[in-house]
Structure formats: C-alpha cells, structure tokens
Amino acid sequence: MKNITVKINGEEKTLDIEPRLLLVHLIRENLSMTGTHIGCDTSSCGACTVLLDGKSVKSCTVLAVQAHGKEITTIEGIAAPGEMHPLQEGFKENHGLHCGFCTPGMIMRGMELLERNPNPTEDEIRWGISGNLCRCTGYNNIVKAIQYAGAKMRGDELPDTEPEFV
C-alpha cells in the first residue's frame, strides 16, 4: 500500500492505496465522485478526462500514485453547486449533449483547450477534442458549445444558439 495526498477540486485528501489503482477508480470509487466516466478503458474515448495540475489527461491511463502531491479537477469542481461554468452553459444552450456520457470528458478537455487558446477556430476546436468520442451528436453542437463558452469567458457577444440537427 502507498500513502498519497491529492488535492481534488480544492479539497485535500490523504489515502492508502494499492499502486495499481488507476486514477479514474480513485476518483469514482475511493472518492465517490462519479461525474468522471469510464468509457473505453483504453485511452481512446476521453470520457475519463480530468485535469491533473491543469493539464487534461485520460484518468484510465494514469496510476493514482502518479497524482500524489498534485491537484485534480473533475467535472464536480468547475462550478459552485447550483451554478454553471460557461462550458456547462454552452453545452446546455447549444444542445451539445444527447445521452451525456461523453460530456464530462468533453468539458474537461474544453477547459484546457480554452485556457491555452481563448479564441479557437472551428478547426482548432475539432483537433482539440480529437481525443474525445461522442456517438450521439455528430460533434457540430459540441463545437458550437465550446465556441459559446469561449465567447462567454472572453466577454464577447454570445453566438446564436440555434442547435444544428444532422
């Protein structure tokens, strides 16, 4: 067993864990935060994306011990209860989700994408979310959701939110 300390969504936690425990299992099972999803379990789909010291990573392919001394941000930690982060609002307003399974991963990836590039082009958004799979939306409304969030975070005029159905 290894003793680790992580800061998750601002709160410090100290736990004894097996070295083979995956970060996604630490989050979902040991820390009971089930907003982070397990999709493919092979670092392909991006449903398990979280921020580790601000960088988006696929938590199914990180060992929990690797997070020792680091800061983890999950979907639960991006807005206060009852409030929405601009990305959450963007997905809601633009019909950026159908079943919702990929959404937490898409949003966590969107966090780093907009942090690095506050005003991305459509092409940059599509490359930026190329490690996240959605099997419902056809992506168009997800791209619009991220554009909306970018505009909101920059304080620009919000784009039209008429959803696109393809």
Partner 1 sequence: MIPAPFDYSAPGSLEEAISLLKEHGDDAKILAGGHSLIPMMKLRLAEPEHLIDINNIPGLSYVKEEDGKLKIGALTTETELEYSAAAEGRFPIFKDVSKLIADPQVRNLGTIGGNIAHGDAANDHPAVMMALNAEVEITGENGARMVGIDDFFFGFYMTAVQPNEILTGIQFPLPPKGTGNAYHKLERKVGDYATAGVAVQISVDSNNVCTNVGIGLTNVNPKPLRAKRSEDHLKGKVLSPDLIQEAAQMASEDCSPSPDLRGSEEYKRAMVGVLTKRMINKALERAKADY
**Cβ(62)–Cβ(69) below 8 Å:** no
Q: Of residues 43, 71, 84, 153, which one binds partner 1 by CB under 8 A?
A: 43
User: Judged by CB under 8 A, does residue 14 bind partner 1?
Assistant: no
- C-alpha 39/C-alpha 77 separation (Å) is 20
Q: Are strands 55-58 and 49-52 parallel, antiparallel or unpaired?
A: antiparallel
**Cβ(142)–Cβ(136) below 8 Å:** no
Q: Would you state the structure tokens that stand for residue 7, as one six-digit string? A: 């800061």
Q: Among residues 51 and 97, whose Cβ is nearest to partner 1?
A: 51
Q: Of residues 36, 56, 73, 88, which one binds partner 1 by CB under 8 A?
A: 56
User: Judged by CB under 8 A, does residue 30 bind partner 1?
Assistant: no
**Cβ(59)–Cβ(21) below 8 Å:** no
Q: Are strands 2-8 and 71-73 parallel, antiparallel or unpaired?
A: parallel
Q: Of residues 15, 30, 35, 44, which one binds partner 1 by CB under 8 A?
A: 44
User: Judged by CB under 8 A, does residue 63 bind partner 1?
Assistant: yes
User: Judged by CB under 8 A, does residue 39 bind partner 1?
Assistant: no
Number of residues that bind partner 1 (CB under 8 A): 30
CB of 101 to partner 1, least distance (A): 17
